[in-house]
Structure 1
Amino acid sequence: MGSQLDVLVVAPHPDDAEISVGGTILACKAAGQRVGVVELTNGEPTPYGSPEIRAKETAASTEVLQLDWRENLQLPNRSLESSLTARRQLAEVFREQQPKVILAPYWEDVHPDHVAASHLVDAARFWSKLSKTDMSGERYWPPQIYYFWSIHLRIHPKPSFVFDISPHIEQKMQAVRCYESQMIQGRSEEHPTVLDDIKDRARYWGWTIHRAYGEPFASREEIGIQCFLPLSAAK
């Protein structure tokens, strides 16, 4: 029996989860949910990083986010593919962790790794439910999957919903800043910095739902609703 995560984020590289859904992770944790992150690659090589540096940065961010589980599949960076081997590895993660919700990269992106990651998640989700295989773990179908935007995506489609992260924006930014080799070192210190860009995007999405900060998601599947909040709570 897996640890049954409530939410599992599938990130192509270290820092993608923090940039795209760090506030959502923190909101879920504040609600008492179990949250995990699986990175597909170590993100290297980069101009100022190394596998060792990225591992330390990821460990620091994991503490900030208070994640219940985190793992890196060590698939090839810059040449990520939805191969049968990769599909099997990720499907076994789904079987082991049994997430109720998967957060995955959006299927359109400038970065080829992000596009491949999105296709890989869809394929592994299907494989996870198959019977009569030699994969480890019991067959499992993650019931919900939502797709998040990447920082590389310049033209954003209309989201299916926007998650309110207003109480968690500063802690999200603290988690993002843990990746100094990617966010700070070698980058311009003039406004707007990459950190400003990340926070300003969250401000924009918050504005769209009459909140301070938000993170957008898309869904290919219908979203079930049991009740509406009182109108006063939505102002």
Structure 2
Amino acid sequence: MKLDLLVMTVHPDDAELGAGGTIAKYVAEGKFVGIIDLTRGELGTRGTAETRAAEAAEAARILGVAVRENLELRDGFFQNNEESQLVIIKAIRKYQPEIVITNAFDDRHPDHGRASKLVNDALFLAGLRRVETTIDGISQLPFRPRLQLQLIQDKYIQPNILLDVSDYWDIKEQSILAYKTQFNSSNTDDGPQTYISNPEFMEYTRARGREFGRNIQVAYAEGFTSRKIVGVRDIFDLR
């Protein structure tokens, strides 16, 4: 299946937190959208890899994505090396997405920046015909997405692009709260409290969305950065 948009991020829930509204928007518009998680998030303080997998499946259902996969790289210890790059190259060539969104290039969580660099390098290599990969014994053709964007996560980074997701904010929040072991909105269980399980975290997420939205005169927006200068066909499409 060829995808229009692929969100390729390191932990289950990264896609929802950083681009849940964007995913829901383009699914609603009939685009083929997918999510690939690089790891199972097995080092997370709350829950297990198994519960995260079930939660990720529920979040994918809420968002309506065409596909969700997990590459099962080692959470916390994956490296930007040939082995990891080839895993990502195979996935990129399999789905041939027009646009890829990945983790923030710099963030408080070291996995985020490392994953962003890993995906960036693998996307370039995926377009080289002398980098040979196969799936089920069949050679894959080289492919490179036309655009890569990065999320803005915990650390504030000035966005290059703001996308109006006002009509899809509720779906974004539903997809985030599908991770019941991670985002404890009621704070009633006995698990250890974490930075993201605090009920105030969701309000912080809303505040960031409102802040981005205010900059383009809408209720909610999601922000992204680009490693290259982005061109437009018509300046009247800008606001």
TM-score, scaled relative to structure 1:
0.91
SS at match of 2:181: helix
1:60 is aligned to: 58
Alignment match of 1:114 (pick from 112, 115, 129)? 112
Kindly indicate whether the alpha-carbon contact (under 8 Å) linking 1:205 and 1:214 is maintained by their aligned counterparts in 2: yes
Paired with 1:73 and 1:112, the residues of 2 have a C-alpha distance of 19
Counterparts of residues 1-235 of structure 1 (less than 5 Å): 3-136=1-134, 137-151=140-154, 153=155, 156-184=156-184, 186=191, 187=193, 193-229=200-236, 234=239
Paired with 1:40 and 1:230, the residues of 2 have a C-alpha distance of 34
Q: RMSD across aligned C-alpha pairs, in angstroms?
A: 2.0
CA deviation digits over 1:194-222, x for unaligned, max 9? 11111221111111111000000111212
Aligned length: 227
The percent identity for this pair of structures is 31
Task: Give the superposition deviation at 1:80.
Answer: 2.4
Structure 1 residue runs without a partner (length 5+): none
Task: Give the superposition deviation at 1:45.
Answer: 2.6
Letter in 1 for 2:145: P
CA separation of 1:230 and 1:97: change in aligned 2, threshold 3 A: closer
CA deviation digits over 1:9-32, x for unaligned, max 9? 011100000000000001111111
Task: Give the superposition deviation at 1:228.
Answer: 3.9
Kindly indicate whether the alpha-carbon contact (under 8 Å) linking 1:4 and 1:99 is maintained by their aligned counterparts in 2: yes
SS at match of 1:53: helix
SS at match of 1:54: helix
SS at match of 1:74: strand
Task: Give the superposition deviation at 1:192.
Answer: 5.9
Kindly indicate whether the alpha-carbon contact (under 8 Å) linking 1:160 and 1:219 is maintained by their aligned counterparts in 2: yes
Letter in 1 for 2:78: L
SS at match of 1:210: coil
Paired with 1:73 and 1:5, the residues of 2 have a C-alpha distance of 17
SS at match of 2:42: coil
Kindly indicate whether the alpha-carbon contact (under 8 Å) linking 2:183 and 2:198 is maintained by their aligned counterparts in 1: no
Task: Give the superposition deviation at 1:46.
Answer: 2.3
Task: Give the superposition deviation at 1:191.
Answer: 8.6
Paired with 1:197 and 1:206, the residues of 2 have a C-alpha distance of 14
Letter in 2 for 1:172: K
SS at match of 1:181: coil
TM-score, scaled relative to structure 2:
0.89
CA separation of 1:228 and 1:49: change in aligned 2, threshold 3 A: same
